[in-house]
Amino acid sequence: MEKRGSRRANGGVPDGKQPTKTDYSRWRLLDERGRQTWHYLRTDDEVKKWPQSVADKYFLGLPTGLPDLKTSTTPLQAVNNGLSFYSKLQLPPGNWGCEYGGPMFLLPGLVITWYVTETPVPESHSIEIKNYLFTRQHEDGGWGLHVEAHSSVFGTALNYTCLRLLGAHAEDPRMVKARGKLHEMGGAVYGPHWSKFWLAVLGVFPWSIVNPTPPELWLLPDWLPIAPWRWWIHMRQVFLPMSFVYSKRWSYPPTALTMELRNELFVEPYEAIDFASHRNSISPLDNFHPKTWILNLINWIFVHLWIPYLLTKSLQQKAEAWTWKLIQMEDANTDYSNLGPVNGPMNLLACYIQEGPGAYSVRRHRERMEDFLWVKSEGMLMNGTNGVQNWDTAFTIHAVIECGLAEDPRWKPMLVKALEYLESQQTLENCKDHEVCYRHPTKGAWGFSNKDQGYSVSDCTAEAVKAILLLQKIPSYPNLVSERRIKDAIDMLLTMQNDTGGCSSYEPRRGSELLEYLNAAEVFGRIMVEYDYPECTTACISALNVFRKQYPDYRAKDIETFIQRAVSWIRSDQRADGSWYGAWAICFTYAGMFALQALRSMGETYANSERVRRACQFFLDRQMDDGGWGESYKSCEDGVYTQHEKSQVVQTAWVCIALMEADYPEVEPIQKAVKLIMSRQLSNGEWPQEAIEGVFNKSCMISYPNYKFIFTIKALGMFARKHGDMVLQ
């Protein structure tokens, strides 16, 4: 296995001296109770002792060797063919893995952190990160916020820098083209706040170009409406280490390479740039959420009054000490895996600054960075979290149950393993000092990825406990999760409702939507506080309904009140055209599927509900000529349904599920869509990857590759059970 000390990020490795491709037959995915890390085997003996799995080969784009199957002519035959393939991707602990890529601003933060902390980078990583970035480079030479977005200063400046740090030569034609695109957009001074922060850390920018992120805000009384503990969890956990580093004004000492970058990233000589005048400069291509005049005024006060004249050294030290304490608590409560791949590298940097390169915190952070990396046919990318293990595993169980195949001997072993996995991932206690570090209770919860990361998520808990309840109700399945633990999960879910009746993601909303006036990220919307989401709200309704059928006496009044208020919010969130806006996948097709499931739970169907009829008509009006549905990511950005140029099997499956949840009476449009799904299935049972599926914060898309198995299988199975397993050719 390759040693981590084989290469250093600082200084890079000239491309002419480094191979341009690794041997993909030597990559292995290790899954340790849901912790997924990729390893490159150096010796033939290692390769012999650790054979490559079907899943490894699939993820890497290598031939899997799985056989062609008998062509399916009915939905259930297509389901079984799909499960035949998808079951081979189940990993040893019982979960499913996949890339969770899409954002193009994650790798640069990690590589810059590696460089400035002088972290050894394996040659295999360096090679494949460069391969991925070059593969994802646009025709115009740039990179965008995500893989399908237009080129922007954020994406281009940071990914150009990332490639240079890993050894790409400035005169490589691809780099020349990227530099030209960056200069066309005005140069790196027109990047958003996050890019300016990272380039200041690297020593390419002076800190005068970075708008303030003062740690003193963490000293504000908790009762204040703008106190950071009220912000959305991802925003505050990024602001936390960012404010610590900003207060230190820490930059890596100049090197020959960073001095070269000072000449490459700008359209005018470095010495001639008035960096302070560019604090608010941003390209229109990046400015998705323009800063408000209120935020600009606050920044002016910080820069011109607070920092130079009013901030005392003792207060600054007190703020730094408290933010450092909160960083330590985040690290301890997640075993250094952290909430995500933005605050993870930032916390590593904070530990390096505070405790030095030899500290345990630095060593452990370096190890944990591997949890975010993923290898595929295009190279090595950085996932949007440390995986989607819990989420996809729960959804897979639901899909098979909906197909009526939970007791099929072909798939029961797969489901037992999945149940065993979910059992192992429930958080059994609240994290240490959770109230002090502003964490929502975690006892009874499931997170999005695994138990190590450990953050409560409303819909992840709901989908997991629902899957467990449904499986354990079947007599032939083991009862692995006790009644007490199931009730702990329900207790946690009941804490997740907002005053509106809707549900958020990680915790109930703590602050006003007016905090968006302080949104400094510029590239994201709806980032400052939690919001009500039809997806999360429906998941909680569904889980509580399943639970109370099995435990009718437990907190019956609380559950009934929760469900009634939640469904009322779902009704109120529907737009006049019959649609719901989705926050976590693209977009109206996704949210509509959940909302119609919630309404069905209250007996509302096409036959008796005008709002359900409006929702169905919204979908039917947008069915494409081939029978499918295809929705562009622009729907998320603009808030208006935008047709994709081609139908997508995932969104087609979502709409099929939605129409069947609504009891739409005419089978023909659903049948036409089911035929499309079946026609896209390959001879070995898989569905090929199409357009990106997911989104967060309105503007950044992210991939959910297993959705093309999970929801297609569910839709086909539901159709067969509802309308018969008819021949469709």
Which residues are tagged catalytic? 459
Among 127, 122, 128, which Cα is nearest to 42's? 122
Distance CA(169)–CA(172), nearest Å, equals: 5
Phi, psi of 529 (to 5 degrees): -140, 170
CA 573 centroid distance within chain: 24
Q: Is the separation of the CB atoms in 179 and 208 below 8 Å? A: no
Distance CA(374)–CA(689), nearest Å, equals: 17
Among 541, 556, 622, 559, which Cα is nearest to 588's? 622
Token pair in block for residue 549: 């059928």
Q: Which DSSP string do the residues of 68-85 spell out, in sequence order?
A: P-PPP-SHHHHHHHHHHH
Distance CA(572)–CA(501), nearest Å, equals: 10
Q: Is the separation of the CB atoms in 13 and 126 below 8 Å? A: yes
Buried/exposed code over 491-528 (b: 16+ C-beta within 10 A; e: otherwise): bbbeebbbebbbbbbbbebbbeeebbebbbbbbbbbbb
3-state helix, strand, coil in the chain (%, to 5): 50, 5, 45
Q: How many of the other CB atoms lie within 10 Å of CB of 284?
A: 12
Token pair in block for residue 722: 């509802």
CA distances from 161 to 190, 195, 263, 505, 527 (A): 15, 11, 12, 34, 26
Cross-strand bridge partners of residue 36? 31
Cross-strand bridge partners of residue 585? 694
Among 620, 600, 485, which Cα is nearest to 547's? 485
Token pair in block for residue 716: 């086909």
